[in-house]
Amino acid sequence: MKNLDTLQLENQTREFATLTHNATGLKQDNKLFFVQIDNTHAVDNLGAIFQIFDGTIEDLEEMQDEDFNILLAYVSEDGTVYNYAEDSADFEDDSEELEIFSNCQQQAELNYDNQ
């Protein structure tokens, strides 16, 4: 994950989102809780990293072609699109980013459990 822009806790998005696309071939949870890590990523209550897509789910669907397919996507009530993006995040070289990720994941787990 590059150019981490640490968010103030009070400005950090925390919300449930509902499954809209599942091309994984595996059963996925219908609803997950997301906590924003930085301006472009969020972690769900299971620890997976998702890209925060800048647009609507319809915009994301229009981008699908031979080189890009929506593997897994969730949409919140306010329309925020969370697109699965595990391969786009790398914490190996930055302990500060790993700590932020771990804290956000823990928040997501707690909020999901308290639903």
pLDDT by residue (tens digit) across 74-105? 999 999 999 997 655 555 556 677 788 788 88
Identify the residue with better confidence: 8 or 98.
98
Share of the chain above pLDDT 90, in %: 46
Distance in angstroms (rounded) separating the CA atoms of residues 63 and 59: 7
Identify the residue with better confidence: 108 or 18.
18
Number of C-beta neighbours around residue 46 at 10 A:
13
Average pLDDT over residues 65-72: 83
Answer yes or no: is pLDDT of 65 > 50. yes
Cβ atoms of 82 and 44 closer than 8 Å: yes
Identify the residue with better confidence: 32 or 41.
32
Cβ atoms of 41 and 48 closer than 8 Å: no
Q: What is the structure's pLDDT at 77? A: 95
